[in-house]
Structure 1
Amino acid sequence: MGETLFIAHRMPFPPDRGDKIRSHHLLKAVAELGPVHVATLGESAADFAAEPLLAEVCASYCLQRRPKLIPAGLRALASGKPVSLTAFASDPLRQWIEDTLEQRAIDTIFVFSGQMGQYVPRSFEGRLVVDLCDVDSAKFEAYAHQRTGPRAWIDEREGRLLAVEERQLANRADTVLLISDAEAALFRSRTGHVNADVVALGNGIDTDLFDHQATKPEAALMQDRGPHLLFTGQMDYLPNVDAVRRAAMQLMPAIRATYPSATFHIVGRAPSAKVRSLDGLNGTRVWGEVHDVRPFLAACSLVLAPLAIARGVQNKVLEAMAMARPVVLSPEAATGINATDGEHMAVGSDDAALIERVIGLLANTISAQAMGAAARKFVVQEKSWPTALAPLAGIMGRAAQRDRHAA
């Protein structure tokens, strides 16, 4: 049985943000198929504290500290490369990868996130699987259209350069993975014919972990009158920042006109200055990082996710649905989940529609509870991690080996 080199742009432990949740479950699934060697970058104290957990999963690993962003950005401008590549470029990690490929029987490289394709040597002749998750170049193009001045130029440059990198990877790889059928179709439309098979491999959700019946609601929310609206996510991530600003500034005034005590709770690490400035505005409360998001989900009246830019599948939506919360969201945030509007979630195409769906659910608790129950049932049946990752063995060329091992 061959061995796998798994290269990830962020440490897959702890699985505490969207991309790390996906890489965490992918890594564990790959490890079940045979020996795996991991090359990855850490950013926080929590990343390095979780190093023993990484060691338990893999045959060997290299965990290096991610380069600082500002020097990486300057190097990108000087070299003509995307910032996304220089921001994850590490000479020690590259050397470890080269040594591992020379010393171990690696027949498959699994690249998680396009930034890490730079580490695959040109001389490697084995199977190459690249999980782009979503089409980053399109995301930066969307940013550029929303911005002005230098920021728009930087985003336009990043989108243009990443599009070239994505196509080059797709011509080197055996398989390119995207997180949804919509992202896969978008990628095909932008790249045209490439050598790789372009395949959708969706996210799952741990419904045993995210279970409202096994979670004690957050006391701080239960003590207040409410209703309580909730948004969760990494709060220095631009689409999340724009979404909560939209909610606090454009949606909450109309919602509070009907429900004056309604509160919009923003929960997630690293809130940017723009997010922190929302605290106290139109019933908005910024919590920042919390020990566990599940009690907040269990206590809220509904989850509000008005994202204008949402690539792939939103883990925050799956988590809320697993916790039996009604979710009011934009069409962008609903992409890739394949749930039914009006039964499993409530989609609003613009501000007025989002406000109407929120007020409607707050006014009818029986309907809200029924939607939450239907959402939970849907994710339990359709969105478990084993179900989502069932095709992985075949993609990795490990199906036959796993079947022989099981026999």
Structure 2
Amino acid sequence: MTTALSKEPLLFLCHRIPFPPNKGDKIRSFNILKKLSEQYDVHLGCFIDDRFDKKYASALTKYCASVFHLDQHKTFAKLKGLSGFLTNKPITLPYYFDKRMQQWTNRTIAQQKIKKVFIYSSSMAQYVQGNSEQYQKLERVIDFVDIDSDKWRQYANKKTGIAKWFFNREYKLLAQEEQTICAQFTHSLFVSPDEAQLFRHQQPQSQQGKVHGLLNGVDVNFFNPEVSFSKEQLVPKQPFISFTGAMDYWANVDAVLWFVEQVWPLIIAEQPNAILCIVGGNPSNDVKALAKNHQGIVVTGRVHDVRPFIEQAQCVIAPLQIARGIQNKVLEAMALNKAIVVTTMAMEGINAQPSDGVVITDDKQTYAQACLALLNAQPKTLANRQWILEHFTWQQTLQPLMNYFSVKESH
């Protein structure tokens, strides 16, 4: 049995610093890191792609025996990614490769006598992959989170010409890479049973037993309607609708563009004073333009506290047209017991049933009518928070995590 005084070392590689837990992938990676740190001395290697996050690196020492991080400049990383065309690799691999990360990984494995590795995101598997005996003897568990290759397939379906060819190429090469990783690693984890099942069916029968769902959770103490929140100046005083998420992430950008083009005119036609708050950091130029070109739209950019924009909204929308896995934005809104209007894709893996507080539709007319009804609705008691408490606390969802590593024997 491992004791607090003799924790076994574990290498944790992550494509983005897992702190602060303020966006989808970082929320999951942080909570997994926190859980693993209860039993292991974690040696963390990660990239920092947002200057805002750099000041938080020291906070990770609370959970890690050591932390190694590298700045990632997105423009340079994109140029590196293009080298994949020369090596017939998916661009994702060179995008996330840095020889300094490789050197640190090899040195840490040797010096710390690492036997267990946790990889977060398929792009980081390359640091402990291949036929080297040093890597083959490791117990390697990977959290793919989503089937990344399938996102590229979805992107390709929305494109034409050279863009369609480009996205299809990435989809096919990444799918091959995912299959290779699954074959080499001890276990492959995904964000939901649905996602795991889809990936499982894509693998040879000999590998299917390695594939598991590990649900996302939500911090129900933080996203709690009973606590008081900070004052946010940009929160509208009149009834409004909210969308929350990283606004430089293509699936989120695509979602709000679809909503504003297809649904918002139907809402404004009936309720000219309606307001839509698009809340999240690094809004793209397309998102910023929505506030200039459309009536009633507020683009906040990064906010100190997202909760007031959820808790004070009449409803929260998640009109995703491209999605994989579980949407944290939906979990957070439900934890705050807010009414939600979501597409079928946005509800995947959460599987809450339609009710007074849950509308699931892919039809723009139905979407608009649901939002209008909730904009004008009187407050009522909803069951959304109860669904989260019963199914999606981190304590519940991460319970199986330790089972994917063999237990160190006591001496």
Does structure 1 conserve the Cα–Cα contact (< 8 Å) formed by 2:288 and 2:299? yes
1:259–1:303 CA distance, 2 compared to 1 (3 A): same
Given the alignment, which residue of 365, 381, 396 partners 1:370?
A: 381
Correspondence list, 1:264-283, <5 A = 264-280=276-292, 281-283=294-296
2:226 is aligned with 1:213: yes
2:201 is aligned with 1:201: no
- 2:169 is aligned to 157
Letter in 1 for 2:125: G
Letter in 2 for 1:178: F
Partner of 2:11, secondary structure, is: strand
Does structure 1 conserve the Cα–Cα contact (< 8 Å) formed by 2:234 and 2:300? no
Correspondence list, 1:110-189, <5 A = 110-121=118-129, 122-123=132-133, 124=135, 125-189=137-201
2:324 is aligned with 1:311: yes
CA deviations over 1:236-267 (Å, ceiling 9, x no partner)? 11111111011111111111222221111111
Letter in 2 for 1:397: S
Letter in 2 for 1:316: K
1:286–1:172 CA distance, 2 compared to 1 (3 A): same
Aligned mates of 1:343, 1:175 — CA distance in 2: 39
Partner of 1:97, secondary structure, is: helix
Letter in 1 for 2:116: T
- 2:5 is aligned to none
Given the alignment, which residue of 64, 68, 71 partners 1:62?
A: 68
- 1:231 is aligned to 243
Letter in 2 for 1:197: K
CA deviations over 1:271-321 (Å, ceiling 9, x no partner)? 111111111414212111111111111221110111011110000111111
TM-score, normalised to structure 2, is: 0.92
Does structure 2 conserve the Cα–Cα contact (< 8 Å) formed by 1:3 and 1:35? yes
Partner of 2:355, secondary structure, is: coil
Cα distance, 1:379 vs structure 2: 1.0
- 1:29 is aligned to 35
Partner of 1:93, secondary structure, is: helix
CA deviations over 1:175-207 (Å, ceiling 9, x no partner)? 100001111111122223243610000101001
Aligned mates of 1:65, 1:150 — CA distance in 2: 31
Identity %: 35
1:219–1:47 CA distance, 2 compared to 1 (3 A): closer
1:194–1:21 CA distance, 2 compared to 1 (3 A): farther
- 1:300 is aligned to 313
Aligned mates of 1:58, 1:236 — CA distance in 2: 29
Structure 2: unaligned runs, 5 residues or longer: 3-7
Does structure 2 conserve the Cα–Cα contact (< 8 Å) formed by 1:248 and 1:282? no
Partner of 2:258, secondary structure, is: helix
Cα distance, 1:167 vs structure 2: 0.1
Does structure 2 conserve the Cα–Cα contact (< 8 Å) formed by 1:234 and 1:271? yes
1:58–1:379 CA distance, 2 compared to 1 (3 A): same
Aligned mates of 2:103, 2:45 — CA distance in 1: 10
Cα distance, 1:79 vs structure 2: 2.1
2:397 is aligned with 1:397: no
Runs of 4 or more above 6 Å deviation:
none
Cα distance, 1:215 vs structure 2: 3.1
User: Whose helix proportion is higher, 1 or 2?
Assistant: 1
Does structure 2 conserve the Cα–Cα contact (< 8 Å) formed by 1:167 and 1:194? no
Given the alignment, which residue of 332, 336, 341 partners 2:349?
A: 336
Cα distance, 1:32 vs structure 2: 0.6
Structure 1: unaligned runs, 5 residues or longer: none
- 2:115 is aligned to 107
Cα distance, 1:393 vs structure 2: 1.2
| Higher alpha-carbon deviation: 89-98 or 32-41 | 32-41
Aligned mates of 2:161, 2:77 — CA distance in 1: 20
Aligned mates of 2:95, 2:39 — CA distance in 1: 31
| Higher alpha-carbon deviation: 213-222 or 351-360 | 213-222
CA deviations over 1:327-373 (Å, ceiling 9, x no partner)? 1000100001121222552111321221222223234324xx333xx
- 2:103 is aligned to 95
| Higher alpha-carbon deviation: 58-67 or 308-317 | 58-67
Aligned mates of 1:3, 1:303 — CA distance in 2: 42
Cα distance, 1:94 vs structure 2: 0.4
Aligned mates of 2:17, 2:87 — CA distance in 1: 26
Aligned mates of 1:9, 1:70 — CA distance in 2: 14
Letter in 1 for 2:109: L
Aligned mates of 1:164, 1:324 — CA distance in 2: 41
Aligned mates of 1:106, 1:275 — CA distance in 2: 45
Aligned mates of 1:346, 1:215 — CA distance in 2: 27
Partner of 1:221, secondary structure, is: coil
Aligned mates of 1:287, 1:220 — CA distance in 2: 7
- 2:25 is aligned to 19
Q: Number of residue pairs matched?
A: 396
